[in-house]
């Protein structure tokens, strides 16, 4: 199916602008792969998710087990920010229809076409580097909300990138102070949870502070996760989620990484004041702030993995969703996925062909070379070497946002013939891997998977397909086993 052919005119939304493109080579596995990837991305599509998870019937709004009477509220507002928020906001407007009072959301300045709405204001903001534009957008949201009351319902749309797209620093700090501190932490090798501990204590809305500002309104946060493991306090730094860290924790992180004397003076003062109890802490679990706050994880990698698995099962493949939390060096993860595909092929373990392995997560690449590539394409290149010669076996990996590293591809597919085909063209896989040049490799082989930007991001999806054994491979196996 091609999602782009669906008519979406009734909602005033642009049609899906993405389509999964992959060279056909007569193998049915490739056709099925395109279907599975399409379904995985569709399951993460903000509009699809909203439509499936948020319902208005009469005056009742239902999300999961929560049901609210819309007529109880004086105002129904939409705010938020993230890379997928534009689609989420438009669909929320369509679903809430006449109940929606107004909205103000931050979306990437590069969004094209720019969404149109008469009731929701779209504030341009920047990502991954935050800017004053984003700060202004947050001020717009807070201005729209004004003095919240118990008669207000505020719907927060949160997704990946929200941290940079909603960067308003705490009062008394400048954006540049926050940025400099983050930069120092990144360079020092601090872990992402350590960086977040500090950032939450330098922000006006992160770490539950947005919920604090909205109190005593009812808050429904609709969250699409781009964080492996889906920790709600990590996605966009959890603006409506209790924070478990303190100013003292932030201080300890900076001390441990020997940055305390190197951060801007204003930041040092701010954290010192916080530690001394002269600034309020981020709101904690159990605080009354969160009494009427409902956080819903409505889209994540797991949903996309499941959608891909269903598509594969419909085509007769036994499937296994290995994990939705894959992390590690892309080329090494490629070896492990290949080892599993190879075990299916040769040993009928862990399942019997025709079979497919689906996994999700996000790998990393340690850059050694100067080539062009991304983590998904590098994973596929490593897999190509590991499954070399295996019949009817393929390994693919894509970023659900459609953008793998600084390339125009979402990912790539490798099969048992990839290395031979490339060698015939003079492409040595070792060299291309060493140079982190996976994009050039698969481009020359015409084995890129291209989707265009999908408007969503729930990390990466890995799919390995092992077709059914045929007569030929049985013969080979017998002769080896003699």
State the number of binding residues for a second copy (CB under 8 A). Answer: 36
DSSP 74: S
Q: Does 332 bind a second copy (CB under 8 A)?
A: yes
In contact, 137 and 79? CB cutoff 8 Å: no
Q: Does 328 bind a second copy (CB under 8 A)?
A: yes
DSSP collapsed to 3 states, 173-216:
CCHHHHHHHHHHHHHHCCCHHHHHHHHHCCECCCCCHHHHHHCC
Q: How far apart are CA 75 and CA 122, in angstroms?
A: 19
Residue with Cβ nearer a second copy (279 or 336): 336
Q: Which of 137, 148, 238, 361 binds a second copy (CB under 8 A)?
A: 361
Helices 28-44 and 301-314 cross at an angle (nearest 10°) of: 150
Cα dihedral across residues 451, 455, 460, 462: positive or negative = negative
Q: Does 172 bind a second copy (CB under 8 A)?
A: no
Q: How far is the CB of 200 from a second copy (least distance, A)?
A: 17
261 burial (CB, 10 Å; 0-12 / 13-18 / 19+) is: exposed
* Binding segment toward a second copy, per CB under 8 A, in 36-44, 158-166, 341-349, 399-407: 341-349
Residue with Cβ nearer a second copy (26 or 481): 481
Q: How far apart are CA 262 and CA 251, in angstroms?
A: 13
Q: Which of 53, 139, 335, 444 binds a second copy (CB under 8 A)?
A: 335
- 251 membership: H or E segment, kind and range: helix 247-256
Q: How far apart are CA 72 and CA 198, in angstroms?
A: 39
Q: Does 322 bind a second copy (CB under 8 A)?
A: yes
Q: How far apart are CA 395 and CA 442, in angstroms?
A: 13
Q: How far is the CB of 361 from a second copy (least distance, A)?
A: 6
Q: How far is the CB of 212 from a second copy (least distance, A)?
A: 17
Q: How far is the CB of 276 from a second copy (least distance, A)?
A: 27
In contact, 165 and 131? CB cutoff 8 Å: no
* Binding segment toward a second copy, per CB under 8 A, in 1-9, 335-343, 398-406, 466-474: 335-343
Q: Which of 321, 391, 435, 473 binds a second copy (CB under 8 A)?
A: 321
Q: Which of 97, 288, 370, 480 binds a second copy (CB under 8 A)?
A: 480
Q: Does 294 bind a second copy (CB under 8 A)?
A: yes
Instruction: Considering only residues 219 through 238, tell me which ones interact with a second copy, judged by CB under 8 A.
Output: 229, 232
Q: Does 323 bind a second copy (CB under 8 A)?
A: yes
Residue with Cβ nearer a second copy (20 or 259): 259
Q: How far is the CB of 36 from a second copy (least distance, A)?
A: 16
Phi, psi at residue 3, to the nearest 5°?
-55, -25
* Binding segment toward a second copy, per CB under 8 A, in 134-142, 176-184, 342-350, 370-378: 342-350
SS3 call for 132 = helix
Q: Which of 39, 282, 386, 437 binds a second copy (CB under 8 A)?
A: 386
Q: Which of 106, 342, 437, 438 binds a second copy (CB under 8 A)?
A: 342
CA diameter of the chain: 81
Q: Does 380 bind a second copy (CB under 8 A)?
A: no
Q: Does 249 bind a second copy (CB under 8 A)?
A: no
In contact, 154 and 92? CB cutoff 8 Å: no
Residue with Cβ nearer a second copy (51 or 335): 335
Q: How far apart are CA 327 and CA 339, in angstroms?
A: 17
In contact, 46 and 159? CB cutoff 8 Å: yes
Residue with Cβ nearer a second copy (129 or 480): 480
* Binding segment toward a second copy, per CB under 8 A, in 80-88, 118-126, 148-156, 321-329: 321-329
Q: How far apart are CA 140 and CA 142, in angstroms?
A: 6
What does the binding site for a second copy look like in residue numbers (CB under 8 A)?
A: 229, 232, 285, 294-295, 297, 302, 305, 320-329, 332-333, 335-336, 339-340, 342-343, 346-347, 349-350, 361, 386, 479-482
């Amino acid at each position: 199916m091609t999602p782009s052919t669906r008519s979406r005119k009734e909602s005033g939304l642009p049609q899906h602008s993405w389509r999964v493109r992959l060279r056909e080579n007569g193998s049915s596995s490739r056709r099925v792969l395109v279907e599975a990837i399409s379904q995985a991305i569709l399951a993460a599509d903000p509009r699809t998710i909203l439509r499936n998870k948020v319902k208005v019937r009469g005056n009742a709004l239902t999300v999961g087990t929560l049901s609210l009477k819309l007529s109880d509220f004086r105002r129904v507002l939409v705010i938020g920010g993230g890379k997928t928020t534009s689609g989420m906001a438009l669909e929320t407007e369509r679903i809430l229809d006449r109940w929606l009072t107004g909205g103000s959301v931050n979306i990437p300045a590069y969004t094209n076409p720019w969404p149109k709405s008469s009731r929701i204001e779209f504030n341009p903001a920047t990502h991954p580097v935050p800017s004053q534009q984003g700060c202004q957008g947050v001020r717009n949201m807070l201005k729209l909300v004004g003095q919240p009351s118990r008669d207000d319902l505020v719907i927060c749309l949160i997704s990946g990138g929200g941290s940079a797209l909603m960067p308003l620093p705490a009062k008394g700090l400048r954006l540049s102070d926050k940025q400099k501190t983050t930069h120092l932490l990144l360079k020092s090798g601090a872990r992402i949870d350590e960086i977040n501990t500090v950032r939450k204590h330098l922000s006006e809305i992160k770490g539950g502070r947005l919920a604090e500002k909205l109190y005593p309104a009812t808050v429904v946060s609709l969250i699409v996760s781009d964080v492996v493991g889906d920790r709600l306090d990590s996605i966009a730094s959890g603006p409506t989620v209790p924070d478990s860290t303190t100013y003292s924790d932030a201080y300890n992180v900076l001390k441990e990484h020997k940055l305390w004397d190197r951060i801007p003076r204003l930041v040092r003062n701010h954290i010192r004041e916080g530690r001394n109890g002269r600034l309020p802490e981020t709101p904690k679990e159990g605080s009354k702030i969160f009494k009427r706050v409902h956080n819903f994880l409505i889209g994540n990698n797991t949903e996309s993995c499941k959608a891909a698995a269903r598509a594969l099962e419909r085509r007769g493949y036994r499937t296994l969703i290995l994990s939705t939390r894959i992390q590690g060096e892309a080329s090494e993860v490629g070896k492990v996925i290949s080892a599993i595909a190879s075990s299916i092929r040769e040993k009928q373990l862990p399942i019997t062909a025709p079979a497919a392995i689906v996994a999700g997560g996000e790998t990393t690449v340690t850059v050694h070379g100067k080539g062009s590539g991304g983590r998904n394409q590098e994973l596929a290149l490593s897999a190509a070497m590991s499954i070399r010669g295996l019949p009817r076996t393929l390994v693919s990996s894509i970023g659900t946002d459609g953008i793998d590293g600084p390339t125009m591809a979402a990912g790539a597919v490798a099969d048992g013939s990839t290395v031979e085909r490339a060698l015939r063209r003079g492409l040595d896989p070792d060299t291309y891997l060493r140079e982190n040049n996976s994009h050039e490799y698969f481009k020359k082989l015409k084995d890129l998977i291209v989707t265009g930007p999908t408007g969503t991001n729930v990390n990466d999806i890995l799919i390995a397909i092992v077709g059914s054994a045929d007569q030929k491979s049985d013969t080979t196996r017998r002769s080896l086993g003699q």
